[in-house]
Structure 1
């Protein structure tokens, strides 16, 4: 989950790549960098149950990926990261190659790989936790919260050169979180049963003390004071324990968007990355123009995120501006239309148009998981479908 704040060797974005130190207008004219962290689960391809073999798989995948592949809090999870990219095509190619490297490394140990926000079958108990003082400290500090950390996410990093600007962009993006959660929903099952939610991971993650939609920050001083309070009160271990759905990176110049379930296929990650970059670019343009961030009430925003996690794209969603229900698909399409200038600027409009059409046709990850289950009413069929899609060469049609 990179949720426990381990510092990766490589993260998306760099001062040179994001134009650190250049005027705001110059930054907006340059393509923004983007990078991804993806988390995968290891399974036995016969029983389809989780297998605690991550250290072996990471060691094998490192032959291709180097420091871009690591372990996570449990021994059932592998995390891999891309480099920063300005080209969506190059980003997409690296995501596919990265997944392939992990799948090949797992196969050498007789294992399968799935990319899902939650495991489909019941997880082992007690969990096999990865060795390390930070993980041990987390287990001691947070207790049963760590018992559910077989959940997996996709984290996207967009290059933003400083914390002050990143916090302003975060303020502008908060109201978009319900649409992002719905787009990425890929975790309907937990402990072998359908939860009734499209993204159960979102609900499980919300239990953490500094998780969910971030606050609206009035200034960098406001952010720093809150982090100091959370640390001083033992709410988080350190700044790496800020698990908000949007947060400024604490060691590289990026804004990290963390609202996404792990995606079933590389094409899903590519669509999310292009949309997220356009959201950040649009926010930067609004900030430069002096347009204030839309500030929905925190309680209503939380409600909208809950509704998005429950229904994904299949039902109604909370329109935060009108405070009424509208079809979730309608709200996403309105968002994409508003992002059109930024998508054109980055050359991503055709890819997003095709990716959105593909998603409408095949359904979100949650819809695909449920479709696999409907065939024979067997959870193992869902695991098999996820194993087939994790490194499938799926490009937007």
Structure 2
């Protein structure tokens, strides 16, 4: 498995995002090489881990890469901020990076891109069989809202409290080509659906769909793209372990001929919307039964569902610790709102997020591995 994380570049004193990613990238690339790159806006920078076989290795890679970009930013009088949306942004046009793919998106979607500055956690899991990857995608679709709730880390955007836990997800869901992928009978069916959507102008490139699960166009992986970037690299590593276990479990089910749950697309998008609003405090449909349950109960059921795969990879304690942290402190959205109540308001939120990688929120102790709440 491998991970991509996106961050905002912010002024050390102003705490506002700054279009200075190019300066940070040039300095960081001297030590990190191709493991760091630019992103959709000049406010953002991205890190990419190498493929990892165990979650401890992945956590080390993430911590090291985050430290590398943080040091490069500091040398430029800047900081990097892991939040799904910019907490503070000055007025003015979005500084879209110079890349043909990004420019094509702005030409197609026009003013819908005016506030499209979102930072995500993307998880890749090795799965070279394209038809199996599509079947895995079918099995994973109903779990996506829960992953949104577990990772929600964007309650503030451009200086205001949105009232949502993951405003990044709200921004993405308004686009016809983002959000949950369509149910597909085969990789060829998947490609035909992408081509049809591109033909009517719903996405810029049929060969590069931006759905929240996709067989990667150029890598032998399934990529899950629905999650906000977490504040803590330990949470990113644990969410990657959850994702790998979901992929492994789905691949086993598909290989046995087990049919994937097939909720109506409209219902799945409604579940997404509810997840973006309430995050870990909310209720939503269980991925397997459709029963409406609190997020922590669904998290416990998720653990039961993927436990054999977690045990196979040695990831059980890592995921149990994540669920315990969610029970104790909530998601990143809870952390951001707690920070906003301290002196400094939203500046304090940025200071908390832009601290040293892995630093817990002030007043919140790192949680030990423990059992999640019972169902």
Identify the TM-score tier after normalising by the shorter chain. over 0.9
- Is the contact made by 2:194 and 2:207 (CA closer than 8 Å) also made in structure 1? no
- Is the contact made by 1:42 and 1:77 (CA closer than 8 Å) also made in structure 2? yes
Whole-angstrom distance in 2 between the partners of 1:140 and 1:148: 15
The normalised TM-score by structure 1 is: 0.88
Instruction: Give the match for residue 319 of structure 1.
Output: 286
Whole-angstrom distance in 1 between the partners of 2:367 and 2:63: 13
Instruction: Give the match for residue 184 of structure 2.
Output: 217
Please, which of 92, 113, 132 is the counterpart of residue 99 of structure 2? Answer: 132
Which shows bigger deviation, 74-83 or 310-319? 310-319
Q: 1:233-248 maps to which residues of 2 (within 5 A)?
A: 233-239=200-206, 241-248=208-215
Instruction: Give the match for residue 31 of structure 2.
Output: 64
* Residues 1:106 and 2:73 are matched in the alignment: yes
User: Any idea what the Cα deviations from partners look like across 1:252-279, whole Å, max 9, x if unmatched?
Assistant: 1100000100111101101100100000
Instruction: Provide closer, same or farther for how the CA distance between residues 257 and 127 of structure 1 changes in structure 2, counting only shifts above 3 A.
Output: same
Which shows bigger deviation, 154-163 or 322-331? 322-331
Whole-angstrom distance in 2 between the partners of 1:381 and 1:370: 10
Structure 1 residue matching 2:354: 3-state secondary structure = helix
Deviation at 1:325, TM superposition (A): 2.7
Which shows bigger deviation, 107-116 or 315-324? 315-324
Instruction: Give the match for residue 366 of structure 1.
Output: 333
The normalised TM-score by structure 2 is: 0.93
User: Any idea what the Cα deviations from partners look like across 1:264-311, whole Å, max 9, x if unmatched?
Assistant: 110110110010000001011111222111111222111111111111
* Residues 1:148 and 2:150 are matched in the alignment: no
Structure 1 residue matching 2:97: 3-state secondary structure = coil
Deviation at 1:322, TM superposition (A): 4.9
* Residues 1:196 and 2:163 are matched in the alignment: yes
* Residues 1:302 and 2:269 are matched in the alignment: yes
Structure 2 residue matching 1:244: 3-state secondary structure = coil
Whole-angstrom distance in 2 between the partners of 1:389 and 1:108: 15
* Residues 1:177 and 2:175 are matched in the alignment: no
Instruction: Provide closer, same or farther for how the CA distance between residues 389 and 364 of structure 1 changes in structure 2, counting only shifts above 3 A.
Output: farther
Unaligned runs of 5+ in 1: 1-33
Give me the CA root mean square deviation: 1.8
Whole-angstrom distance in 1 between the partners of 2:44 and 2:78: 12
Deviation at 1:362, TM superposition (A): 2.6
* Residues 1:73 and 2:49 are matched in the alignment: no
Instruction: Give the match for residue 8 of structure 1.
Output: none
Whole-angstrom distance in 1 between the partners of 2:164 and 2:318: 29
Instruction: Provide closer, same or farther for how the CA distance between residues 377 and 317 of structure 1 changes in structure 2, counting only shifts above 3 A.
Output: farther
Equivalent residues, number: 364
- Is the contact made by 1:239 and 1:250 (CA closer than 8 Å) also made in structure 2? no
Instruction: Provide closer, same or farther for how the CA distance between residues 196 and 258 of structure 1 changes in structure 2, counting only shifts above 3 A.
Output: same
Structure 2 residue matching 1:210: 3-state secondary structure = coil
Whole-angstrom distance in 2 between the partners of 1:391 and 1:85: 19
Whole-angstrom distance in 1 between the partners of 2:30 and 2:359: 21
Whole-angstrom distance in 1 between the partners of 2:99 and 2:180: 29
Unaligned runs of 5+ in 2: 369-375
User: Any idea what the Cα deviations from partners look like across 1:319-361, whole Å, max 9, x if unmatched?
Assistant: 3555443211101111111111100000111221122212322
Instruction: Give the match for residue 255 of structure 1.
Output: 222
Whole-angstrom distance in 2 between the partners of 1:395 and 1:90: 19
- Is the contact made by 1:198 and 1:310 (CA closer than 8 Å) also made in structure 2? yes
- Is the contact made by 1:115 and 1:390 (CA closer than 8 Å) also made in structure 2? no
